[in-house]
């Protein structure tokens, strides 16, 4: 009798996990991407609205934040790849702070975000980032040899994929995770999170190890509950030198500190000054 009850309990739990796995499988993209459908607010004065044209025919909303209107020679720049929520308007404080320090900045929104057409996928976001990097490098104000990529959370994965194709002068990853499989296993240890069941895998750790050779800065929040520092450390350990790991004390994943706080900006500015302030090499 007791054995029968135990077997029934196991069957119920197994069935529940099977149903939950099926539900997570069919809704996995809605659990990964949280697009803000409304267009971004009007840009602040001095921010130039532009369109970014992708290879597959989309036009993405973007803002170019110029460092110095008086500068005549091309200068260093930063491409910002957003996380999985919000839109480019939320990254204006970061862009403004970088522009004040002498860096041009391009903010853009992925497909499906901020009124852009399309739906987000791993390949789609990589295509979007590739188009944004091209648009930034082609700006007359920008020295294409001194462009850095900055990605936050999911945007770090987008940056890693982009950097494996189009090498940046420097790479900054804020709260990166090794892959969606790794982060899925962390948050859902009771589910069979395996590669064949994951549509958008974002294999950042593998890309960093195999294909990325840019100077790297990894920035994490000490109390990040969404992407714990040990997961970001895995990405860091996979990279070659030169690299730096900066852990901001008492910072959670969505704290203002990790958006454009003084500590983040200090780490970021010191790193970019080291790798982007040098003169571009002469032709030949």
Note whether residue 138 is domain-resident.
yes
Q: For the whole model, what pTM was predicted?
A: 0.90
Which band of pLDDT confidence, cut at 50, 70 and 90, is reported for residue 41?
Answer: confident
Q: Nearest CA to 154 among 197, 123, 186, 122?
A: 122
Tell me which residue range forms the domain holding 247. Answer: 33-276
Lowest mean pLDDT of 139-148, 183-192, 211-220, name the range: 183-192
Provide the pLDDT confidence category of residue 143 given band limits of 50, 70 and 90.
very high
Confidence of residue 24 (pLDDT cuts 50, 70, 90): low
The number of C-alpha atoms within 13 Å of 194 and in the hemisphere containing its C-beta is: 2
Q: How many domains in the chain?
A: 1
Q: Does a structural domain hold residue 24? A: no
Residue 87 phi, psi (nearest 5): -150, -175
Judge whether 28 lies within some domain. no
Per-residue pLDDT, 43:
86
Say what the pLDDT of residue 281 is: 43
Q: pLDDT by residue (tens digit) across 197-248?
A: 899 999 999 999 999 999 999 999 999 999 999 999 999 999 999 999 999 9
Number of neighbouring beta carbons within 10 Å of residue 254: 17
Among 31-35, 71-75, 277-281, name the most confident range.
31-35
Helices (H), 41-120: 92-100
Q: Please give the average per-residue pLDDT across 102-127, as a whole number.
A: 97
CATH number reported for the structural domain that contains residue 38 in this entry: 3.40.50.1820
| Domain-located, residue 75 | yes
Inside any domain, residue 14: no
The per-residue pLDDT of the chain, averaged, comes to 90
Range with the poorest average pLDDT among 25-34, 77-86, 93-102, 194-203 = 25-34
* pLDDT at residue 224, rounded to an integer: 96
The per-residue pLDDT for 275 is 96
**Which residues are paired to 79 by β-bridges?**
106, 149
């Amino acid at each position: 009798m007791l054995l029968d009850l135990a077997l029934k309990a196991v069957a119920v739990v197994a069935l529940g996990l099977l149903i939950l796995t099926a539900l997570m499988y069919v809704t996995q993209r809605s659990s990964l991407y949280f697009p803000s459908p409304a267009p971004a607010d009007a840009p602040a004065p001095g921010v130039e609205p532009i369109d970014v044209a992708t290879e597959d025919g989309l036009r993405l909303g973007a803002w170019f934040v110029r460092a110095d209107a008086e500068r005549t020679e091309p200068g260093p720049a930063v491409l910002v790849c957003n996380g999985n929520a919000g839109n480019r308007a939320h990254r204006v404080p970061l862009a403004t702070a970088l522009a004040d320090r002498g860096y041009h900045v391009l903010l853009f929104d992925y497909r499906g975000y901020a009124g852009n057409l399309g739906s987000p996928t791993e390949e789609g976001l990589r295509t979007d980032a590739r188009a944004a990097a091209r648009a930034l490098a082609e700006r007359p104000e920008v020295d294409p040899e001194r462009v850095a990529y900055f990605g936050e959370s999911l945007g770090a994965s987008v940056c890693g994929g982009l950097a494996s194709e189009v090498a940046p002068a420097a790479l900054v990853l804020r709260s990166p995770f090794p892959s969606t499989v790794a982060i899925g296993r962390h948050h859902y240890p009771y589910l069979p999170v395996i590669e064949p069941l994951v549509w958008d895998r974002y294999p950042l750790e593998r890309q960093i190890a195999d294909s990325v050779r840019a100077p790297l800065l990894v920035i994490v929040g000490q109390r990040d509950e969404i992407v714990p520092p040990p997961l970001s450390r895995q990405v860091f350990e996979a990279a070659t030198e030169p690299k730096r790991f900066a852990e901001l004390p008492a910072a959670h994943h969505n704290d203002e500190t990790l958006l454009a706080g003084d500590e983040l900006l200090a780490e970021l500015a010191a790193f970019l000054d080291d790798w982007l302030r040098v003169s571009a090499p002469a032709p030949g």
